Structures are given as structure tokens and as C-alpha cells.
Chains A and B, each alone.
Chain A
Amino acid sequence: MSAPDLLAFAQSVASGAVRVVDLTQTLTPEFPTIALPPEFGQCAPFRLEEVSRYDARGPAWYWNNFSMGEHTGTHFDAPIHWVSGKDLPDNAVDTIPPHHFIAPAVVIDCSAQAAKDADFALSVADLQAWEATHGPIPARSWVLLRTDWSKQSPAAFAGLREDGAHTPGPAPEAVRWLVEQRDVLGFGTETIGTDAGQAHHFNPPYPAHFYMHGKGRYGLQCLTNLDLLPPVGAVIMAAPLKIRQGSGSPLRVLALVNGSEAGR
């Protein structure tokens, strides 16, 4: 194997032969965060406090302080986030090997099903049907579930009803299959969490968290622009902030796509 030509790669990015697709939602105070029962600790929403803006507080400069939780906005979940992954080695955002932050991705388009049913649960059969068309999911890939949920209104995006959130996600068996049969790197979604809104009724509850993190795999959520990616062939750059023993972090998620395939 010859040494990779990184300069040629950079030139491809500059020329547009490799397109960069931003999979990140803008951080705003209004962007929904996960809603837990109020007696639990809550994920802090994004907040911005202006420090100065060319004014008496700082005449020539503009800057802000911001605050948020580790799981606010488009964010990364590390294995330590879930109790099933708490004792694994290298399980926090500061200790995960950095080469895990660049990896290929496959995109499973379930937007049609999700449009019909907010509680759509991705099944093993769905995955197998996808493989029938696109071939087996490569090991150490991100699996990204496209639901077009990022295009919803904020209320529909959160999907809150009297009995909790109604948003699509994976069924327990599908997650287990991806980890055990396909050895994926992680699972990513457009919704607030990697799990379905009603996943607390699943067995086990929150299977994407339970199985992925229990086997040292990662999560990405609140992604957008998945419709601009090809089913196969995108490379994801997703490097969380290096928070000591951090359980996750907001981050910028970028996809690199062959220029001819992007933006269908």
C-alpha cells in the first residue's frame, strides 16, 4: 500500500471534488433539548451571554460566554454516558482514540416510514433490506438513520405528547444486530436522542444507549442534512471536545462526500 497523498486530498476538498457537508444544527437557545421528568437533573440548554460588543464592556471586540450541557444540540455520546459502558477502557471523550473520530458512514433512509409513523422503529429486517440493495454494512462504520426529522417544526421535532416523546429510533434487536453482527462504530440520528422517543418501554429500555455504549460504541444525535449524503461512501469527521471524563460533547459533525454524489 503506497503512502496516502494527503495534499491531493486537501486539493480535492478545495476544488470541490470532495464536498464537505455540514451535519450540524446551529446552537441556539430555542433548540429543543431532551425532556426528562422534572425531578431529575436536566440537560442545560444552550445559552449565550454577550461579554462585550465594541462597547463600554470591551470597546474594540465582540465575544460571548456560552453555557450548555454535554448533550445539547448536535452532540456526541461516549460509552461512559450509559451505565452499561461505565467500566470500559477509553470510554470518555478525552480518552477515546482520536482515529475513531474519522470514519465511513452508511445512511439508512427511513424518511418515508417516519413520515407515516412518528414511533417508527428500525428493525433488523429494514437493515437487511438496505443491505440487499447497497451491500453489507462495513465494519467500523457509522450507521446514520435518516428520518428527515431535522426538517420538522420544533414541536414535532420534540414530539411531546401526554405520554412522552414520539420520535423514531431503532428497535432493540436492530441495535444488537448492528453491534454484534456488523461491528459498527456507532449510531447516529436526526432526533434528540439515538433512541426512539418511546424507548423507555423497550426491552431493554433505551437499546441504542444500552447496546452501543455497552460495547464501547458511540452515538451522534441532532444531525441534519443526512439527505445530502449518499447511502454509502461518506466519511464522517466527528471529534468531541476534550472534556476530562466527559460523557459526550456538542461538536461540529462534517461529512466528506465524493463531489459527484453530494447534494442529489
Chain B
Amino acid sequence: MTVSTRQPYARQPYDRVVVCAPVTVPYVRFSTESAAWWIGRALHGLLTQSGLRLADLDGFALSSFTAGPDTAIGLTQHLGLCPRWLDHIPLGGASAVVALRRAARAVQAGDASIVACVAADTNHVDSFRKTLASFSRFAQDAVYPYGSGGPNASFALITRNYMKQFGATREDFGKICVAERDNALANPLALMKQKLTLDAYLAARPIADPIHLFDCVMPCAGAEAFLVCREDIARSLGLKVVRILATIERHNAFPDDPVQIRGGWAMDVDDLWSMAGVAPDAIDFIQTYDDYPVISMMQFEDLGFCKKGEGPDFVRGHTLTHDGSFPHNTSGGQLSVGQAGAAGGFLGLVEAVRQLTGETIGAVVPDAQRGLVSGFGMINYDRGLSSCAAILARSA
């Protein structure tokens, strides 16, 4: 008998498990507090919002770059948790969807009932530089010594290559950034408070050609969290909940592309839509991982909203604000809210839950029924290694 490794089991739906209690601990540019402080605030927010007690949390998934030397286990004692299911997810921009997937399956299988998914990072004045230098072995050996431009330089290479290959212009990227800022102006928690014009975007100072100031996120401190739990428990607590229609996850895809022009989504996009049972036109909003606008454009392509190379035209053909033809990063995205380390990876998912439960704190997508959240992260060497996505739906 031969077993085909190419034919996985059919994807099981995420029945009887829901997402709820979207929490944001307001961001600050720099914090003198530790990561543990921010994680504690996020858990506190989850309890306040849900009415649960600390002892009710029997699952805990943590993402943080700055919790070191601690990981999730150390935080259980620090914060008084006693979970029967524990995960530490060091996947940066991919951590929210990955946490969601793992927690949902744990709850479905009965290994946990209520999983607190938390991402939090502090930002001391020198944290960013230190994180960059020791981000990964490849970064230490083969990236950081080359100008120490950090992700700006890595994405400069990716952006320039994409522009040359597909004809994207700075105006196209500017349109994404300006729309996000427009969305952010309604979000009281966004760190960026001023309107951004395309002219200002174009005139900004260069950082690493062709990346300019408003292509870059602002590192900050903050935390984001949500609960993944049994549907019956959520209902008994009277919580507003969101259903999970489909998810995908992929790491280290397309290693032979000389420069990254696509993410792992392109490998799994068919699986995503077939599991969800809907087509891209059924999506009411999309939350991409937007540490640079080029990567948002790639997500539009790789997730099936347009073909590879059509990203620039797609952007030109749509309005991207919350009330536009293609609502994108409706809270303002990391580009306008700020990037609180790993919490940046949670930003889109928490915002998606808000849009689908009606618990919005800023701009509202009218009558949103389904949203797509995608994650991306971990520039280990020359490209982002992790990609993932989830389609969420309003619960009846």
C-alpha cells in the first residue's frame, strides 16, 4: 500500500469554536515598562471584556519579541495563569492567524476551552536596534552587517525589484498609505493623528531607496489580544462572536525566487477559498500585514483578488478606505497605528473581529459580513518566511 503525502485529509470546518473579546492596550511610542507589563494589561483587558476570571483561562498563546529571557511558560507564573494548553508563537506578523488556528483546533478537540491569545511588546529607546542585530542567525551573519538598515533595507530591495518587474510606482504605494491614514484618523488608538496627502508621501525623506519615510511603520509599545473559545461558553457569557471559515499557513515558500515577489499564500490560496466556500468577491474587507505597502500589494495578488503583476492596476482601480470599493486595513494598519512588535501581527485580526461583531472603535465597514485577515513575517534573511490567512464571518 502506498500513502500519498500529496493528498491530505479533507479540511475540517471550525465548528463549535468562535473568536471574541477583541482587546487593544493603547500604544505608546516608547515605554519604560516591560513586555510582562503589557501582557498583563492585555489579559486584564480580556477578563474585563468577557467577564471571565483569570482561573477560567485554560489556554494561553503568547507572541512577543521582547519578553526575553521569558517565554509563555515564565509568564504563567508571573501573571498567575494555570492553563492546560500553552503555546509560544514567535512568528511576528504571522502570529495572530497561527495562534487562531492552533487555539481553534485545541478547543475543538477538547484540549482547552478558553484560550487567551496575546501579542505584546514593549519598546525601550534602544530595543529596536538590539532586536534587529540578533533577530536571526542569518540576519546576524549575512544581513545586519550590510548597512544595518534593518527591514527598511530588506524591503527596499523587494520593493525596487517589484517596481521594476511589475511597473508599480511610488504613487501606487502612496495610495495604499494615504487610504490607511484616512482610516486611522477615525481610530482614537492610532498613533498617527495627522492626515497624510499623496504629495506629503511623495516628498518624504528617503530611508533606503525606494523606501521613504511613510512607507515605514513606527516601532512602538502595545498589546493586542483575543479569545478563542467554545461557542457555548461565549454565548452563555453573552459575548459577540465571530466564526472562522477558513485558514492557511505556509513557511519558507518559493526559496528559488531571486527576490521575493510572492508569499506562501500563492501556494495555498485555492485551499483557502475552497475551505471558506466563498469567492473573493464575497469579502467585505481585508486586513493585510502592511509593514511596507509593497507587501500589501502582493497579498492582494497572492490571495486571489487579482493576478500576479496586476497589483498596481488593482490599487489604481479601487478605493481602499473603509467606505471604499475595497476596504483595507480599516483601523489604519500598522503604517498609521504603529507597530507594537508582535502585536503588529495581531492588529488586523483584532480589527477584523471588531468589524464583524460591531464592536468597532473607529471607522466602520458598512454591513460587513466576511473579512479576510492575512499575516506575514519573519525576515530571516532576504525575505519574509511566514505567510498565513484566515477568513472570518459575522455570527448569526
**Direct chain A–B contact by Cβ atoms under 8 Å:** no
Residues on B lying within 8 angstroms of A by beta carbon are none
